[in-house]
Chains A and B, each alone.
Chain A
Amino acid sequence: MRRFALIAVPYLWLLALFLVPFLIVMKISLSDIALAIPPYTPKLDLTGGWDAVTSFFKALDFENFEFLTSDDLYWKAYLSSFKIALISTVLALLIGYPIAYSMARAAPEWRPTLLMLVILPFWTSFLIRVYAWMGILSNEGLLNQFLLWTGLISEPLTILNTNTAVYIGIVYTYLPFMILPIYSTLEKMDDSLLEAAEDLGCSRTSAFWLITVPLSKTGIIAGCFLVFIPTLGEFVIPSLLGGSQTLMIGKVLWEEFFNNRDWPVASAVAIILLLILIIPIILFQRNEQKQREMEG
């Protein structure tokens, strides 16, 4: 009985507040927009018996999804989210790898401190970290003041409200997610492998590419997915740092829902975003499983 309650309580909670809401989104994505509260039709009325249920299912259609393919705003937004997420992931890898690598080479008594320094920003409000860049990147911001002062530029650069600012924001906020998995694979690496390679005549650079990088592969893959997956649906960064030309699907969904009040289309946008995300999520879980098997 106790065992039953132990399973049932969290189970029912997740069913009611995770699975059911999700099914509602699916259902509304197949409904039509209506001038009513709530603003969609049909509504399932169980008091009407079986006829009501069949007519309910007959009223569902894929119109919203067809609408998404006909209006190029949407597929452009999906493509552009994908591009922004991909570029940011590569940038985060290029910046994060040297940091993780150097952390793993630091003296063992320093590593816990360095690790905490990487984790600490993660505990600080995401919103504040994005906001911090607004003051730096604006036209009169500190970066432009600094560049003008050094004489590198004579006119202030427009960075805020462009895609460049979005890249900076994403790399900045998601960098710890890239550093941590790479660091944890590099830290476990056996250094005698490098010594052996060098004894056998490998240069340091080729030892790095032939040994260190392949051995940290699972960390690199995990880090890339940890940056890529949340970036794809990102809303805060494009809406604060990006401009009107920054198209990201999280932002489109938000505007569709709050500004246009088109719930069926917003739901359809959500469903497609999720379908796109399934592939990287499955790949990520495979990678995690492989890592566990290697350790186990």
Chain B
Amino acid sequence: MKRFTWFNVTALTLGFAFLYLPMVILVIYSFNESKLVTVWAGFSTKWYGELLQNEAFLNAAWVTIKVAVFSSTLATVLGTMAAYVLVRANRFKGRTLFSGMIYAPLVMPEVITGLSLLLLFIGIGLDRGVLTIVLAHTTFAMCYVSVVVSSRLVSFDRSLEEAALDLGCSPWQAFRLVTLPIIAPAVISGWLLAFTLSLDDLVIASFTAGPSATTLPIKIFSAVRLGVSPEINALSTIMIAIVTVGVISASLISKQASLKQQRDEQAAARG
């Protein structure tokens, strides 16, 4: 029997207070009337209004979303392919190098990834802009996707796929009709992970963005360097709200999907 003691309650309370209080304070102060962020001067939503008028921020937000959608989609396709290769193709020339290149970007400091990509883009004479950020984000995000997807592929029952092939499916049909629906939750969470990584990235984007394309994190970073501002608080609050709603609904959906899959598998087993 596990004992849940006062020590446990205190540790959890203090721990979660530490994790959440700074963000709660940030959200509260985004509704502050005063320009001085540390003095409370009454409730107001005026900073949200000012934010919506700020063209530079809106443009940057648009660039960021574009980059995130393109790069995460591309990264999901490439990452799923890579995961398939990692799990299924055991022998081919250069497999060690391949798996090394999948895992290395996960531990590579962002400053180095950014620097090396910038030097490549300059070396081949590619103008820096939306395209170069997409290429950079795709490269590191596909590694995260392939790790997420391959963990699902490992636990996947191959006999289902073999059955489909025996029953006359082509390999592509077997993948589309059998494998893909089963690994879909992992593919979707891989996409979400790639999307948030791209939205969030400051360092790699700073190296690979040109003057024509500024992303939101770059914009926030240069504003924040000058100190705390109520507009940034408002912007942060919007971003926190989107993430919270997104994560909670995604986890509810995946919970339902896994329950349904369990029921289906049981029904199939009873036959």
Residues on A lying within 8 angstroms of B by beta carbon are 2-3, 6-7, 9-11, 13-15, 17-22, 24-25, 28, 38, 95, 98-99, 101-103, 105-107, 114, 116-121, 123-129, 131-136, 138, 140-142, 145, 172, 175-176, 191, 229-230, 232-236, 239-240, 250, 253-254, 257, 263, 266-267, 270, 273-274, 277, 281, 284
**Residues in A whose Cβ lies below 8 Å from that of B3:** 105
Give the contacting residue for A22; candidates B85, B116, B172; CB below 8 A.
B116
Tell me, in angstroms, the Cα distance from A36 to B90 when the chains sit together: 47
Tell me whether A233 and B12 are in contact (CB under 8 A): no
Tell me whether A124 and B203 are in contact (CB under 8 A): no
Give the contacting residue for B25; candidates A7, A103, A116, A132; CB below 8 A.
A132
B224 in contact (CB, < 8 A):
yes
Q: Which one of A126, A132, A240 has the highest number of Cβ atoms from chain B below 10 Å of its Cβ?
A: A132
Tell me, in angstroms, the Cα distance from A85 to B109 when the chains sit together: 13
Tell me, in angstroms, the Cα distance from A172 to B34 when the chains sit together: 28
Shortest Cβ distance from A43 into B: residue: B123
B56 in contact (CB, < 8 A):
no
Tell me whether B23 and A121 are in contact (CB under 8 A): yes
B232 in contact (CB, < 8 A):
yes
Consensus secondary structure, chain A interface? helix
B33 in contact (CB, < 8 A):
no
**Residues in A whose Cβ lies below 8 Å from that of B239:** 124-125, 128
Interface residues of B in 116-137 (CB under 8 A from A): 116-117, 119-120, 122-123, 135-136
Tell me whether A129 and B22 are in contact (CB under 8 A): yes
Tell me, in angstroms, the Cα distance from A24 to B168 when the chains sit together: 49
- Given that A102-B7, A133-B22, A135-B26 are known contacts, is A253 also in contact with B115, CB under 8 Å in the complex? yes
B102 in contact (CB, < 8 A):
yes
Tell me whether A135 and B116 are in contact (CB under 8 A): no
**Residues in B whose Cβ lies below 8 Å from that of A135:** 25-26, 29, 37-38, 228, 233
Tell me whether A99 and B12 are in contact (CB under 8 A): yes
**Residues in B whose Cβ lies below 8 Å from that of A13:** 78, 138-139, 142
Give the contacting residue for B98; candidates A11, A123, A191, A267; CB below 8 A.
A11
Tell me whether B19 and A17 are in contact (CB under 8 A): no
Consensus secondary structure, chain B interface? helix
**Residues in A whose Cβ lies below 8 Å from that of B270:** none
Instruction: Provide a sorted-by-A list of 6 A–B residue pairs whose CB atoms are within 8 angstroms.
Output: A17-B117, A99-B12, A129-B22, A145-B38, A235-B110, A273-B109
Tell me whether A20 and B120 are in contact (CB under 8 A): yes
**Residues in B whose Cβ lies below 8 Å from that of A229:** 107
**Residues in A whose Cβ lies below 8 Å from that of B37:** 135
Tell me whether A134 and B25 are in contact (CB under 8 A): no
Shortest Cβ distance from B103 into A: residue: A285
**Residues in A whose Cβ lies below 8 Å from that of B19:** 117-118, 121, 172, 175-176
What's the minimum C-beta distance from B133 to chain A, rounded to whole angstroms?
Answer: 12
Tell me, in angstroms, the Cα distance from A284 to B196 when the chains sit together: 25
**Residues in B whose Cβ lies below 8 Å from that of A233:** 109-112
Tell me, in angstroms, the Cα distance from A18 to B104 when the chains sit together: 9
Tell me whether A106 and B227 are in contact (CB under 8 A): no
